[in-house]
Amino acid sequence: MQNDDNRREQRVLAWSIAVTMVLSAIGIACGLFANSSSILFDGLYSLIDAAMTALALGVSVLLGRGGSRHFQFGFWHLEPMLVLLNSVVLALSCGYAFLGALNDLFRAGRGTDFGPGLVYVVGAGTTEFLLWLAMRRQAARLGSELVALDARAWLVSGLLSIGLGLSFALGLALQGTPWTAFVPYLDPAILAVMALLLLPVPLAACWRAGKDILEIAPSELDERVRAIAREIVARHGFHDFTSYVAKTGRARFVDITFLAGPELGARPLGYFDAIRGEIAAALDAAPPSHWLNIEFTSERRWL
C-alpha cells in the first residue's frame, strides 16, 4: 500500500515530466528555427530526460506497492537499475553530440541566428534553476533518489543554459567585427564544450548505481552499524558479533548476529526485542525501506 511520501513522489515526478516536455518542444522548435545544433541538443536532451523520468514514475509506483509473491523483498533493485539506464543513455547522447559538433567544425561551422537563441536560453535557464531548487527540496524531504536524480538533471540543464546564453551573447557581439569569420564556428564549439562538461554527470551516476547493483557495502553505514553493535556488546555482555550491510536504491539491509556466553542465562523474549528496538532507533530504521535482521546465538559457528 502506498504511503503519503510515495504518492507525493509520484506527483512531483509527473509534474516534472510535463514541464520537461514543454521545454523540450520549445527547445527543439527554437533550435530548428535558429539553426542551432546546441539548442537542438538541449531540447533533445530534455526529451530523453522526460522519457527517463517517466520510467522513474513507473518505478515509484512499484516501490509503493511493496513486495509481491515473486519479489518478496520489494522492487528496490529497480531504482539503481533505472539510474544506471538513465546515465548510460545520457552519456551516449553526450558522445553523439560531441562527434556531431566536431563534424560541423570540420565542415566550416554552422550559420546560427543567435538572437532567438538568446531569448530561449534566458527563459529556459530561469525555469530550470527554479525547478532545480524545488526538486532538490522535495528530494531531501522525501529521501527519494528518483527525485534527486531529476533535480540533478534540472541543475545540469540550467548550467548549460547559462553557458549557451553567454556564448550566444558573444556571437551577437562578434557580428560586424573583424572576428566575424569565427562566428559560424561558435555554435558547434559550444556544443562540443557542452557535451564534454555534461559527460561526467551521467558517468558519476553510473558509478553510484553500479555500486548499488553490485551491493557494495556503503562504508558509512557499515561503520555506523559496527559502532552500534560494539556498544551493545559492551553494555549487555555479549562476547562478539558479526554484521553485514547492503544498500539498494533507497533500501538499507542490515544483518547483525550477537554471540552470547553461558553467563547471560535465560532471558525473556522481551529482553532481546528491546535490544532490537535500541538498534532500530539508533539506525533510524523504519519499514518499508529498511530491512533489519538481529539474531542471537551461543555458538560461534553461527556467526
Domain residue ranges in the chain: 4-213, 219-302
**Is domain 219-302 given the CATH code 3.30.70.1350 in the classification?**
yes
- Its pTM stands at 0.65
Render pLDDT for 253-303 as a digit per residue (tens, 0 to 9). Answer: 899 999 998 888 788 889 999 999 999 999 887 766 778 889 999 988 888
Q: Are 250 and 79 in contact (CB under 8 A)?
A: yes
Render pLDDT for 17-36 as a digit per residue (tens, 0 to 9). Answer: 888 888 888 888 888 887 77
Render the burial of 58-78: b for 16+ CB within 10 Å, e for the rest. ebbbebbebeeeeeeebbbbb
pLDDT for 241 equals 95
Which residues of the chain are modeled with pLDDT < 70? 1-4, 64-68, 72-74, 107-113, 287-288
Q: Which fold has domain 4-213?
A: Alpha-lytic protease prodomain-like (1.20.1510)
pLDDT for 67 equals 67
Q: How many CA atoms lie within 13 A of 147 on its CB side?
A: 26
Measured between alpha carbons, how far is residue 70 from residues 66, 67, 74, 234, 291 in Å? 12, 8, 9, 41, 18
pLDDT for 1 equals 43
Distance CA 142, CA 226 (A): 27
Indicate the residue type of 111. Answer: G
Domains 4-213 and 219-302 alike in fold: no
Distance CA 251, CA 212 (A): 10
